[in-house]
Structures are given as structure tokens and as C-alpha cells.
């Protein structure tokens, strides 16, 4: 597939992925190339998924030669794909240009595809029920590496219409690159995906929730609760010690009063840890205060995660308890667990 793994050893070239239309037009103007060429380049990349200047045939050959000298369309070093037996998920194992690994997952619905996007290589948050935390933190992804995941999915024949930042990493710990990528993917000249079809998951990083508020930066959020009781949450999610859930909830309440975007509480059920009736009542109280939907996720097991999921019977009992308390609740059914692509399972390729 042309351009899929395009790399270069010429460090003087600038990577064109991640340029906005405005910044690319300005760069071309410095090179005495007419600004409309930027529109043609972006159309080839984001609409036709061509990553080689030689294929951009509506651009004059001499200009293409100059572009080739000045820019590279650096993508990823290598990719592998794994298909779920049920055909509902494709995991992309991506080798970055520095040799590190990330994973992203295409989730197939009847009428559309969702891409589960990674924002970091590994994760520093260390939620005890998530394999990505076991892999440890390597680095933040650049905005072009985030955009590259959806570009790759489309190039592999999986048209993407919805995005969830629920892959590897804590998106709000890579705020600038994540929202640069979101704004680019939302742009009309790029993938033109509505922000209402994008969801950013967070374990509750207070500093950048405040930044969302101060910048009036509105997006669908999904807050990973773990446990509504702070003393029990900190055992599962060490981030609690620095970002107390009660402060997070207060900030989310403020944020939600500013817009009408969706808020979801993600709750991973763990046997004997957070599935007792009292824990569910505390979760229900937070949901009511925030007017948020609850998404129940039965733990996806892995040999390196020291917990077990609840029984199917208990999963349904918890759902019924929440429904009877008057809060909206859904169950996220497993997709791709046979290829370690389900929620909380990404990062196996990083373990070595």
C-alpha cells in the first residue's frame, strides 16, 4: 500500500502530517508556491488517502519535486493487524518511527465504524485493572501520530465516522497534541468528523479539566470512576491521591453546565472490589448529580491483571439496581477480547 510505512533518513525534511490548512498555506507561500496547492495536498492525503507526492497528479511535476525535497509524509514504521473471530474488531499494532509501539482498534457497528484512538505510548496513570498501565509510560504521541491512526484505518479500508479516545494513555495528559489532532480531524478539509461524534476518556486529571473550562473547549467526556468511594478508589486508581474524585466531580459539574455535550461515567466491574450494593448506590448518586449516563464494563481479564470480572448474573443485577434508582445505564459488551483489543487490554505489544 503506497505510503503506508513511508519513512526517510533526511532529517531536514518537515513532516507534512499535522499541518493545518492555514499553516501549510503559509509554509508554501514562503516557498513561492501558490496557496491553493495546500488544498490539493490535503485533499490527496485526507480524502484520497495518498501519502506519496508522486501520486498527486493534479499538481505540476516541478512543484511535486520541490515538495518532495522540502517535506516528507512520515507515517508509521510498520503495522500489523489482528482480526477478531467475531469480525467485530480489528486491532492495529503500530510501530512508531522511533521503534516504540502503540495499538488502536476499529470497532464495527452495523452502520458505522468507530476508532478507539491512543493518545500516549503506554500510560502513566497506572489503573490497576488496565493492561496499558502495566506496560508503563514511554511518551506522549505527537498530533500527527494521533491523526495517523485514523488515516491508517481509512487506508486499510475501514471508513471511520466516530472516534473514542479510549485507547492507550490518558488523553488529558497530552492535552495540546490531542486537541490539535481533534481540531484537524474535525476540519472540513480533513476527515470532517463532528466533535459530537468524538469522545475523550479521562481518569480525572484536574488541571486540564480546569483548562477545558477556562478555554471553553467543549467535547464529549467519559469519566472513568473505578470506585465512587475515595478510600477504595485510590487502591484501584492511584490518580485519586493527586486528583480526588470529589474535586473532579465538582469540576465536571461546572463543565457540564457550560454546554450540552454528553457525559458518560465508565465503570469497570471487578469481582469483590467495586460491585457491592453500597458501591453501586454511591455511583448512582454521582450519576444523578452530574446527569450522566453510566456505561458498565465487565472487567476484561488478562494474565497480568490481578482481578476477575463479575458473573453475568451480577452484571445484570448491577444494571437493574442502577435502572431502578433512576439513572440511565448501558452495558458495553466485549468486542475483540479474543485478540486483546477490548477495553483495558491494549498494550500487550509494549510488554516485550
Catalytic residues: 103, 343
Which residues is 293 bridged to in the sheet?
A: 264
Residue 97 dihedral angles phi and psi, to the nearest 5°: -65, -15
- Helix ranges restricted to H, the chain: 21-30, 36-46, 61-70, 131-135, 143-155, 175-186, 206-214, 230-236, 245-256, 277-290, 312-324
Q: To 10 degrees, what angle do helices 206-214 and 245-256 make?
A: 20
Give the β-pairing of 78-83 and 113-116.
unpaired
Q: How far is CA 201 from CA 41, 163, 264, 286, in A?
A: 32, 11, 9, 17
Within 10 angstroms of residue 134's Cβ, the number of other Cβ atoms is 19
| DSSP-assigned letter for residue 232 | H
- How far is Cα of residue 109 from the mean position of the Cα atoms in its chain? 18
Within 10 angstroms of residue 71's Cβ, the number of other Cβ atoms is 21
Q: To 10 degrees, what angle do helices 277-290 and 245-256 make?
A: 30
Amino acid at each position: 500500500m503506497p505510503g503506508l510505512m513511508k519513512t526517510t533518513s533526511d532529517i531536514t525534511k518537515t513532516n507534512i502530517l499535522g499541518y493545518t490548512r492555514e499553516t501549510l498555506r503559509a509554509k508554501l507561500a514562503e516557498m513561492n508556491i501558490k496557496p491553493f496547492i495546500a488544498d490539493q495536498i490535503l485533499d490527496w492525503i485526507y480524502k484520497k488517502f495518498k501519502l506519496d507526492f508522486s501520486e498527486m497528479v493534479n499538481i505540476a511535476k516541478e512543484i511535486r519535486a520541490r515538495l518532495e525535497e522540502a517535506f516528507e509524509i512520515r507515517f508509521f514504521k510498520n503495522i500489523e493487524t489482528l482480526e477478531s473471530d467475531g469480525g467485530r474488531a480489528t486491532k492495529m499494532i503500530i510501530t512508531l518511527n522511533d521503534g516504540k509501539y502503540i495499538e488502536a482498534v476499529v470497532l464495527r457497528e452495523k452502520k458505522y465504524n468507530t476508532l478507539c484512538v491512543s493518545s500516549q505510548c503506554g500510560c502513566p496513570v497506572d489503573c490497576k485493572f488496565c493492561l496499558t498501565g502495566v506496560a508503563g509510560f514511554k511518551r506522549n504521541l505527537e498530533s500527527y501520530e494521533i491523526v495517523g491512526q485514523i488515516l491508517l484505518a481509512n487506508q486499510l479500508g475501514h471508513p471511520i465516522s466516530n472516534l473514542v479516545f479510549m485507547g492507550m494513555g490518558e488523553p488529558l495528559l497530552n492535552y495540546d497534541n490531542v486537541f490539535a489532532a481533534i481540531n484537524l480531524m474535525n476540519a472540513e478539509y480533513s476527515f470532517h468528523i463532528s466533535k459530537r461524534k468524538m469522545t475523550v476518556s479521562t481518569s480525572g486529571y484536574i488541571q486540564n479539566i480546569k483548562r477545558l473550562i477556562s478555554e471553553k473547549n467543549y467535547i464529549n467526556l467519559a469519566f472513568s470512576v473505578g470506585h465512587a468511594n475515595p478510600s477504595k478508589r485510590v487502591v484501584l486508581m492511584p490518580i485519586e491521591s493527586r486528583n480526588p474524585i470529589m474535586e473532579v466531580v465538582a469540576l465536571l459539574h461546572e463543565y457540564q453546565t457550560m454546554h450540552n455535550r454528553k457525559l458518560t461515567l465508565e465503570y469497570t466491574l471487578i469481582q469483590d472490589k467495586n460491585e457491592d450494593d453500597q458501591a453501586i448506590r454511591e455511583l448512582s448518586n454521582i450519576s444523578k448529580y452530574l446527569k450522566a449516563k453510566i456505561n458498565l464494563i465487565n472487567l476484561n481479564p488478562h494474565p497480568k491483571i490481578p482481578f476477575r470480572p463479575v458473573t453475568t448474573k451480577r452484571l445484570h443485577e448491577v444494571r437493574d439496581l442502577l435502572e431502578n434508582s433512576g439513572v440511565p445505564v448501558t452495558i458495553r459488551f466485549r468486542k475483540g477480547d479474543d485478540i486483546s483489543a477490548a477495553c483495558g487490554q491494549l498494550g500487550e505489544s509494549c510488554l516485550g
